[in-house]
Amino acid sequence: MDLPRIFTIRESSHRIHNPFTHAKYATLGRALHLQPGTRVLDLASGSGEMLSTWARDHAITGTGVDISTVFTDQARARAAELGVADRLTFVHGDAAGHVADEPVDVAACLGATWIGDGVAGTAQLLGRSLRPGGLMLIGEPFWRGQVPDAETARACFAQSPDDFRTLPGLVEHFGDLGHDVVEMVLADQDSWDRYQAAQWLNLRRWLDANPGDELAAQVRAELDTGPALYARYQREHLGWGVFALMPR
């Protein structure tokens, strides 16, 4: 059980595996008024940057679950680097269906709602670990405006324009699911650049070092098309944000 190798190649230099920056995570932590001892569960926790920096800055405790062995090892190393390994546990495992042993104060899934087959299922999954009155965090893409055609949608990782909602539509959807939206922090085009454009250098350096690898042709194809697709479609049309929810 592991993440396909192309993901770890593509994001090999990343500490954050979504369109957030360290500053965005810091803003989110302050916005949530995290208190020392807050218990956080992070499903699909990646390299553990959110939990590790929040443990350092806010003295939270937490558990991260991720299917990638590479990212889980990086998360443990990051917690040790920041001196917070005693407050955090990183588990290699499938986040889909994972429920905390004891209710937590904050249950999060940022950018991986496929673990619940979409927003609704992920909210239901997170709710199973959340204490009454706790906060749920969901990170999710949205359309920044009208999507002109299916070609644009496909270039933005969607099969059709209906796969993602607009920002108002996503906020309304959370309400329809029975949750109050109580905070949000959104990525911007600069933070998208840092996530997407940094992948191109990772891919090129890997390709130069591994020209005979079985994934070389796939990496070459991504480098041939990825930057232009991002500049033409994704940067203009695709948004992303983290939404803090409280069940009604």
Q: Which of 51, 56, 54, 57 is nearest to 71 (CA)?
A: 51
Return the pLDDT at 106: 98
> For residue 117, what are its two tokens?
């087959």
For 174-197, write each residue's pLDDT tens digit: 999 999 999 999 999 999 999 999
Overall average pLDDT of the 152-176 stretch: 95
Please give the DSSP secondary-structure letter assigned to residue 162. G
Mean pLDDT of the region 200-209: 98
Identify whether the C-beta of residue 204 lies closer than 8 Å to the C-beta of residue 220: no
Residue ranges of domains in the chain, CATH in brackets: 5-143+166-189+239-247 (3.40.50.150)
The amino acid at 31: A
Measure the CA–CA gap between 244 and 180, rounded to whole angstroms.
8
When pLDDT is averaged across residues 192-207 and rounded to a whole number, the result is: 98
Amino acid letter for position 24: K
Indicate if the pLDDT at residue 105 is higher than 90: yes
Give yes or no for residue 57 having a pLDDT over 90.
yes
- Nearest-angstrom CA–CA distance, 92 and 220: 30
Percentage of the chain modeled with pLDDT above 70: 100
pLDDT surpasses 90 at 1: no
Give the largest Cα separation in the chain, rounded: 55
Confidence of residue 148 (pLDDT cuts 50, 70, 90): confident
